[in-house]
Amino acid sequence: MGVIFLVLFSLLAAGVLAGGAMFAMMLNEASEQIPTLDAKMASIRVGPTRIMSSDGKLLYESATEYRIPTEIADIPELVQKATLAAEDKRFYEHDGVDPWAVARQVFTNVREQRVAGGASTLTMQLAKRLYTSPEQSFKRKLEDAALALQIERKLTKSQILELYLNQVFYGSGAYGITAAADVYFGKSLDELTASEAAMLSRCVRRPSSENPFVNYSKAIENRNAVLAVMFEEKMISKSEYDEALADRPKLAEDENRLQATIKRAPYFVRYILDQARLELGVDVAQGGYTIETSLDSRLQKFAEDRAHRLVDSYRRSGVTTNAFMLMNRSGEILCMIGGVDYAKNKYNAVTQGKRQPGSAMKPLVYGAAFEQGVLTPSDPIRADTYRERDGGHTWTVEGRKGGSSVSVSSAIQFSMNPPAVRAMKMVNPKVFVEGYARRVYGLTTSMIAVPSLVLGSVAVRPIELAQAYSIFQHEGSRVKPYGMRRILDSNGNVVRKFDPQVTRSLMSSASAEDMDYCLRKVVQGGTGSYASSVRRARGKTGTTNDNRDAWFIGYTDNYLAVSWVANEQFDREHRVWVYKPMSNYVMGGKVPILMWRDVMKECQDLFGEPEVKPDPLDREKEREAYVTDDGEGSARLTHEMGGLSNEKEEDAKEEPGDKPAVSSVDAPPDETPKPDTGGTKPPDEEPPATLPDGNPELPDGPGDG
């Protein structure tokens, strides 16, 4: 027995010597780490995610750590005692390491032949949070002990307790005791009872699985254990102990106190958060990122004000919402409005909405016809009524009487329906859907290859329609809208950088320039004449059946924007948003165009409008120089300039009794379709100089089919 005891004693002594040498080395390493304590404390919190505008304004800020920093003098003694009873009742009796607790833990580990947790003082827990890791190992315990001893040499007990109570995680996003009191009970620290203080103090053991929101009964059990220690250590009296045991704390109704604030442009912010998550594969709202965007806060504020004014002005005409997006020539989004009341409806009509574009679809079909070579802007195309039989059903698109024709450019300028249907038939609906809608224009919504597509019978997203029109602005290349410029991590390192996404040469420059010319004529004397005061504007109007949607989409050399209005109503019975008809006055060329005009002019005033290419109407002036004064030359000029052919202009005006043309496809038989201009000159009317106040008597003026 003596030999065995000697061998065991020798082994124990050798272990102590080896452990002592290792611990001495760790103490030395800890002393080198302690000078970084201040920096560690400053950086331990995950920084909030911030979304910034291009002009340096904060659009959004979020963080996953809810904290309310509190000095030790403002933390009630009862709360401090509950924490010490739960985690380290001998806190004021040791120097960072409790030898009695260590001895008990060593005995337990030897007996159970495993490395178990325990014996950690409050200072050691702070060291683990700041410097080491949750790893369960003897080496990690020694590191924590060494660091704890060094921390106690640097800080007072009150400073250590203050740091602990401000830094430790209590679950449900709450970091620090003050935040925990607010999250779980909706109380300040001085309002906490002994029962509540004891319950919070044990949340730090298993903050995610045993907090009172997740497991109330376990939280009560843990609280009772803490109260027992408080009573044994004479921190509370017998009557206080009994009263606390009988208490059933009432939890706060709302556990979400995370700081997430949208400062500006809510629909744009939500769009950016979604895009960033797709790019990085993580929810950036959890904190730690800075996202630099292209949005200009000045233009955004102007657009938001105009959107509310537009809706207020035409509310009695059924306009209740407006969506708008403007991007520069590179595709950078400068402002975005997904609706007029984010608090009521967070659905972003620009990026998520699928609405019928009406006649705004026509340029896409005519562009395909130009590309195929089956039409040019100066070609004549029939404008009389179009009929097509499909089984027992006859589809009719009303037009002019007789066999009159107009030039393609005039058909686009005055948004005539029968010529557009005939253009679609020339292109072939199936070829348009498969070869142009998706591949050339980038539309992703499902489409059925039928002629009525040209009248806007398919739903599209406004942001995609803007992308499609960019082909005409960019001589055949398509530009994708985007809002992020850079994503940076918490250390300022660039995680992602975004450049313009241009798909080149999807359409010949000649075809794109032909459509550019036609869209310029729409603004300079057609259905989009309300936008003629915008420098170098081109565009197209769109209005759907029953006036459920009204659009204007257009561009200048440097900017492109889409504007949409509708009558959006909430169906309380079915809990969905529905879109109801607006008045007959609300057409693309009368209401959404006002928003487009005002914001585009403000954009030009802010950023300028440098000329990128010649005005497409300059080609008319060039042609005039080569046309003779004889009748033949004059007739040829009329044809080339998009005038009427094969009839006198006065004969082309609508006569009383003419049936109006349908504005979209398959209008119900009992419904009177609204007329288009029939190819005649639009009535003389000055567009409103500013958006009207209230809802005044509205004059007749240019509209669209």
Domain ranges of the chain: 42-64+259-291, 65-246, 299-486+501-652
- For tokens 């459509």, the residue is 515
Q: Would the pLDDT of 592 be above 80?
A: yes
The token pair that represents 638 in the structure block: 């009329």
**pLDDT attached to residue 216:** 94
pLDDT of 283 strictly over 90: no
Does residue 673 carry a pLDDT above 60? no
Q: How confident is the model at residue 285 (pLDDT cuts 50, 70, 90)?
A: confident
Q: Is the pLDDT of residue 162 over 50?
A: yes
Q: Which residues pair with 562 in a beta bridge?
A: 325, 553
- Which range is most confident: 164-178, 375-389, 633-647? 375-389
Mean pLDDT, to the nearest integer, of 256-283? 87
CA atoms 243, 247, 250, 255: torsion sign = positive
Average the pLDDT over each of 389-403, 442-456, 601-615 and give the range with the smallest value: 389-403
According to the model, what pLDDT value does residue 62 have? 85
Mean pLDDT of 274-290: 89
Instruction: Determine how many CB atoms are found less than 10 A away from the CB of residue 417.
Output: 27
Strands (E), 213-285: 260-262
Q: How far apart are CA 191 and CA 81, in angstroms?
A: 15
Contact assessment for residue 335 and residue 299, using Cβ atoms and an 8 Å cutoff: yes
- pTM, two decimals, is 0.70
Question: Comparing C-alpha atoms, which of 553, 556, 546, 619 is closest to residue 579?
Answer: 546
With bands split at pLDDT 50, 70 and 90, how would you rate the model's confidence at 648?
A: very low
More confident residue, 123 or 664: 123
CA Rg, the chain, in Å? 37
pLDDT band for 127, please (50, 70, 90 cuts): confident
Query: 37-51, 457-471, 522-536: which has the minimum mean pLDDT?
Result: 37-51
- β-pairing, 494-497 vs 405-407, is unpaired
Tokens 């809208």, residue located = 481
Can you tell me the distance from the alpha carbon of 267 to that of 269, in angstroms, rounded to the nearest whole number? 5
Name the residue with higher pLDDT: 648 or 694.
Answer: 694
β-partners of residue 381 are: 406
Confidence of residue 695 (pLDDT cuts 50, 70, 90): very low
What's the pLDDT score for residue 607?
A: 97
Please state the rounded mean pLDDT for residues 368-395.
93
Q: For residue 262, give the nearest of 176, 183, 328, 348 by alpha carbon.
A: 348
Architecture (CATH level 2) of domain 65-246: Orthogonal Bundle (1.10)
pLDDT for 307 equals 98
For residue 254, the model assigns a pLDDT of 64
Answer yes or no: is pLDDT of 378 > 60: yes
Measure the CA dihedral 156/160/161/164, to 10°: 170
pLDDT at residue 240 tops 60: yes
299-486+501-652 homologous superfamily = DD-peptidase/beta-lactamase superfamily (3.40.710.10)
pLDDT at 620 over 70: no
Among candidate residues 363, 366, 452, the one with its CA nearest the CA of residue 665: 452
Q: pLDDT value at position 106?
A: 54
Q: Which residue has the higher pLDDT, 403 or 651?
A: 403
- pLDDT tens for each residue of 414-446: 999 999 999 999 999 999 999 999 999 999 999
Residue 671: pLDDT above 60? Answer: no
More confident residue, 141 or 371: 371
Sign of CA dihedral 141, 146, 149, 150: negative
Q: Write down the pLDDT at residue 109.
A: 54
Q: Say yes or no to pLDDT of 191 above 70.
A: yes
Which band of pLDDT confidence, cut at 50, 70 and 90, is reported for residue 633? Answer: very low
Residue linked to tokens 């359409």: 507
Per the model's pLDDT, the better-predicted residue between 663 and 105 turns out to be 105
- Mean pLDDT within 671-687: 39
Percent of the chain scored above 70 by pLDDT?
77
pLDDT band at 545 (very low <50, low <70, confident <90, very high): confident
Q: Compute the average pLDDT of residues 141-158.
A: 87
The pLDDT-based confidence of 12 (bands split at 50, 70, 90) is: very low
- pLDDT > 90: percent of the chain: 61
Q: What is the pLDDT of residue 198?
A: 97
Q: pLDDT tens for residues 79-114?
A: 999 999 999 998 999 988 887 666 555 555 545 555
C-alpha–C-alpha distance, residues 322 and 308, integer Å: 8
The mean pLDDT of the chain is 83
pLDDT range class, residue 684, cuts 50, 70, 90:
very low
Q: Residue 130: what pLDDT?
A: 79
